[in-house]
Amino acid sequence: MRKRTLLGLAAGTAAAGATTLAYASLVERNMFTLRRYDVPVLALDAEPMRVLHLSDLHMMPGQRRKQEWVAALAGTDPDLVVVTGDNMAHPDSVPGVLNALQPLLDYPGAFVFGSNDYTGPVLKNPFAYFNQHERTSRRRHGAELPAEDLRELLAGHGWADLNNARTTVKAGGRLVEMVGVDDPHIERDDYASVAGGASADVDLRLGLTHSPEPFILDAMAADGFDLLLAGHTHGGQVRVPFLGALVTNCDLPRSMARGLFRWPGSDAWLHVSAGLGTHPTAPVRFACPPEASLLTLIPR
């Protein structure tokens, strides 16, 4: 009797695990969600301003559902669109990224790249994400991706390329100063080349990075940027109820894996997007649906 009971428990556990995996891989990873936040960063007499934040599309050819969902976000009528990298997951991804972003390219925009804009993903041991040494010392890269084609496409539509760059743009009738770095996760960042105090003669100051590494966020906040935008974490991708993200794949605390936060020790706000895609070799999300965010900037 006891043996049959143990076998029954094992079978039940296996069935529950299989059901959870099927839900995470077939259902939740396609449950695209628009999150909305109010961010108090504008002057007291300012009208609200809408910033659409997209990240981590990890686009594969044929992902029409994702492309159509992102394209429909033009209906939010943003004042500014910000994309924080990892747009591609395959050498033939550019047409799919264009399909997704095409209606949004009519709006003012800015972008930085992530590692998966330069090289494709490779199969990894998922437990390596729990070990910082493993994450950094054994980093492998897949096929080369058409980063320059994507850069030319986005910049050709007037979007600001903020990979180790700084500029000022007009959006929503406001003057916005923006600074960004190329992906610190693969050591392409060079904030020193664009560092310096943010201008007092603009309406808003934004900082962009793909990977939300604290040393980058600290520098941007110290320079007076009001709102810092990042992706990379996938919100943990697999979250445990009441515990949250297990990993962030960077030095950001797990408690900040997704959402809006006041960056510690500063007046800056940080928004980390859980992103819209998954690593193609691990197409699973659990308690962490893919997302875009509409940030309504309001007076302080």
64-87 pLDDT tens trace: 999 999 999 999 999 999 999 999
The answer, yes or no, to whether residue 40 has pLDDT greater than 90, is: yes
Give the model's confidence band at 142: pLDDT under 50 very low, under 70 low, under 90 confident, else very high.
confident
The answer, yes or no, to whether residue 138 has pLDDT greater than 70, is: no
Nearest 10 degrees: Cα torsion 52, 56, 58, 59: 0
Contact 258, 233 (CB under 8 A): yes
**pTM for the predicted model, two decimal places:** 0.88
Distance between CA atoms of residues 171 and 175, nearest Å: 7
**What residue segments make up the domains of the chain, in order of their start?**
31-299
Per-residue model confidence (pLDDT) at position 237: 84
Distance between CA atoms of residues 59 and 243, nearest Å: 29
Strand, coil or helix: 190: coil
Return the closest-CA partner of residue 113 out of 201, 20, 181.
181
The answer, yes or no, to whether residue 2 has pLDDT greater than 60, is: no
Token reading at 97: 């990224």
Angstrom CA distances, 159 to 27, 213, 220, 250, stand at 33, 24, 21, 27
Q: What is the pLDDT of residues 254-286, one digit of tens each?
A: 999 999 999 999 999 999 999 999 877 777 888
The answer, yes or no, to whether residue 129 has pLDDT greater than 90, is: no
Token reading at 279: 């690593």
Return the closest-CA partner of residue 269 out of 206, 215, 214.
206
Token reading at 15: 């069935």
Contact 211, 184 (CB under 8 A): yes
The class that CATH gives domain 31-299 is alpha beta
Give the model's confidence band at 29: pLDDT under 50 very low, under 70 low, under 90 confident, else very high.
confident
Token reading at 200: 């007092």
Tell me the percentage of the chain whose pLDDT exceeds 90.
74
